[in-house]
A and B are shown apart, each in its own frame.
Chain A
């Protein structure tokens, strides 16, 4: 079987990939491009360890094929702009083994990008697809809330200035 060449934009860089177009982008990123921050956890979209952003939307890399991301912007933990979130992650000492954390951060970053001040229910919903076996959930929640609070405070102070 011959493999066609596909174009993939990953973290702002273009890659020309020779691979089966049906190969999940998780394995393209990990085994072919060699960026290993995006993790395998279940291969069935059940755990969220492989969460990436495709045009800014959170997707499971294990269920998203290479052909589905052609001409789209793919972002991984190595390229995501989420410094405030990561700072709060560190401040709350969130990770234990750390393996699921890239997926957790990618889900949380996507949530905050569209919903800067999420409610408890919105956090629950956005993060329900990401499993952490070590049990870092309480701290994940704290880190998300802290980031949201900072964003809200910043927005409020801008408004104050405008007034």
Chain B
């Protein structure tokens, strides 16, 4: 999430830093930091820049500095590098980057790995290729214009001479690095890897069970920790008895961890850690603990009651966020439509719970973390241990899913603190119960929408209010309103061509750790506007797609000027990633054409539709459902995504398929609830996720686009829930405005 974590917004300054401060050249070798990922490459490699090294054996080592959690980035980043480099794809080795600020941001969330790094990775590939070509030209004493690189060889244009990258790499690495301005990047029709559905580089290891995730780390002498954390945010250990825990075979030690004061930040929650020789013994020991907890200010938090208060608040005036036209005070009953929508707390539930292994020695700390944010991990661990950041080496494992939870490094800090206390490598692996009960939750929310229809059934005024505890509350005490960054996520930035628009936010205090989860506030905001446009369509007697066309108005680039509102646009300039109403219209056309050829809704069936722009991509979803005797069956989902130019179309399709399933899970079954300040759910029996038999037939259309690469991992999620509830309305005439649906229907 751009707004809430340390680094983002790649500036020219960052680019210069990445390329090395002097002469616009590339930072060479491993200067500056004690560790270099390229040291992981075999001997006899020549390092051409931070991202590219080449072995004598002609193997090309490409660094992926972003975390792999299923989006395919360990394939995507190398595809971009290798394309400009002209490397032979069958002879590449992908190296996972350590935490290292020279890469720029490694914060793998916000759907921005490709959109923020596409050009820089091309420049890296192009620079290294230019150096290799120059080295060949020097050797043959010909002009560099007379040579070209292809499939890891440099060829002479006018003879059969060729030299492998491996033969040239050492000489090339000694050459001055070309200036960024001097590079000529390929035109799109010259791409040979960008735009191709390459198989993911980790496929074989995943199929053989050899792929290493955070949970799989095993360091010599390592011990295992299981931690009983406070059940209510703000409570501390009052007393504990570890007599029985210490009797469990394999238990080595029991350690009390401090409970931090103030805003949660990324600090560990504290509690009692049981240390053992294996995971199971640690858990058994923990179960045998007898801990009592102190009272907390959050003890009275009851999510049902909180939500009903929030629903009350959004019926009243709030803080105006954006105002277009005139404030509307006259809402005639027969032409006014209003509705209130709610979404409960949600949690990430990635298949691999948080896990990290730390080894603290007198030299510093080495970590193996299942982390979306290696640099923030480094920073927070250094802070907790009183070390400088260069003394903390962070290895990034494969992530068994992330969805935003693993950009909070609290669990890595736990491992580091315990390793320091025990003077041994320690693995902290969270259980499923820990993950569900001690998370950083997607905020509980309520949205109120009200519109007035003119005589011609066009919308002439729209009033909307949103209320939810802010992610900012995790980073500062006393936060009462959502941040601008959160309101930008699908609430303030819907480009409706309605004459009078007033958007407001209401106060909501946090009683737990609030965090970002795949697509963040777009979840509740897309559910609100996506449902409400359908309700207006029903009232006006028009198809939903037509209502969207009318409310969006003519194709244009929306800038939201003179509306008392500065749009953050996911950290992008509007010039690079405009709010393009024309792209909405194109998706409406694409999905309408698809639906025309799809099965018509039969008895007890209905189609629903929604469209949403988020992470500077556009996604339209149509859903076909059947509801028979209170049993919901999702039959088909069709999604069209416009994410600009795409690097690996198959991974865009797979991410969108996954986003639909993620959206269906939350809409149908997702709910974290609180009683007495404690999460009531604990595992997949009461926090269910979609299973294979519930999964609809899914069809994804990746719209061809020449626009700049945009987000992919998240934008598919937001339109799913409203397209589903709209479909249920079409099938049954019943409108469900409060998620999840399993309160009303069998799913």
Chain A residues near B (Cβ < 8 Å): 1-3, 19-20, 23-24, 27, 30-32, 34-44, 46-47, 49, 76-78, 86, 89-90, 93, 95-102, 105, 123-125, 127-141
Contact = CB atoms under 8 A, between A and B. Distances in A.
Contact of B224 (A31, A89, A99): A31
B334 to A, nearest CB: 44
A94 B71 CA distance: 12
A34 B351 CA distance: 20
A30 B208 CA distance: 15
Given A30-B279, A96-B658, A137-B661, A43 B432 contact: yes
A78 B213 CA distance: 15
Interface in B165-205: 197, 199-200, 202-204
Contact of A43 (B68, B209, B431): B431
Contacts of B206: 95, 98, 101
B689 A133 contact: yes
B374 interface: no
B692 interface: yes
Given A136-B654, A137-B692, A37 B200 contact: no
B658 A134 contact: yes
A76 B197 CA distance: 30
Contacts of A135: 657-662, 690, 695
Contacts of A128: 691-693
Given A36-B216, A135-B659, A98 B692 contact: no
19 contacts: A30-B279, A39-B352, A43-B431, A90-B199, A90-B204, A90-B207, A93-B203, A95-B70, A95-B202, A96-B655, A97-B401, A98-B206, A125-B693, A129-B691, A133-B349, A133-B350, A134-B658, A137-B692, A139-B654
Given A39-B400, A133-B662, 20 more contacts: A2-B249, A39-B215, A40-B279, A43-B433, A44-B684, A46-B685, A90-B207, A93-B654, A96-B71, A97-B400, A97-B402, A99-B350, A99-B351, A100-B400, A101-B207, A131-B351, A131-B689, A133-B350, A135-B695, A137-B692
Query: Which A-B residue pairs are the 4 nearest by beta carbons?
Result: A37-B209, A99-B400, A135-B661, A97-B70
Contacts of B661: 134-135, 137
Contacts of B429: 40
Interface string B276-303: 0011110100000000000000000000
Interface in B68-98: 68-72
A151 B698 CA distance: 26
A134 B69 CA distance: 9
A124 B401 CA distance: 23
Contacts of B304: none
Given A43-B431, A47-B351, A90-B207, A36 B218 contact: yes
Nearest to B686: A46
Contact of B215 (A20, A40, A44, A130): A40
B692 A36 contact: no
Residue in A43, A77, A135, A139 whose Cβ sees the most chain B Cβ within 10 Å: A135
Interface residues of B, number: 67
Interface of B: 68-72, 197, 199-200, 202-204, 206-213, 215-216, 218, 224, 247-250, 278-281, 283, 349-353, 398-403, 429, 431-433, 650, 654-655, 657-662, 683-685, 689-693, 695, 697-698
Given A96-B658, A101-B206, A31 B280 contact: yes
Given A36-B209, A37-B210, A42 B279 contact: no
Contact of A23 (B280, B353, B432, B689): B280
B199 A37 contact: no
A157 B281 CA distance: 53
Contact of B401 (A38, A90, A99): A99
Contacts of B215: 36, 39-40
Contacts of B684: 42, 44, 46-47, 131
A28 to B, nearest CB: 8
Contact of B650 (A38, A43, A93): A93
Given A36-B218, A135-B657, A98 B685 contact: no
B290 to A, nearest CB: 19
Contact of B202 (A23, A77, A98, A133): A98
A1 B353 CA distance: 30
A124 B247 CA distance: 44
A96 to B, nearest CB: 3
Contacts of A99: 213, 350-352, 398, 400-401
B64 to A, nearest CB: 15
Contacts of B658: 96, 134-136
B427 to A, nearest CB: 9
A34 B212 CA distance: 12
Residue in B402, B403, B693 whose Cβ sees the most chain A Cβ within 10 Å: B693
Nearest to B682: A44
A144 B72 CA distance: 22
Given A20-B249, A76-B209, A77-B208, A31 B432 contact: no
B351 A39 contact: yes
Given A23-B280, A131-B689, A138 B401 contact: no
B278 to A, nearest CB: 4
Nearest to A47: B684
A62 to B, nearest CB: 9
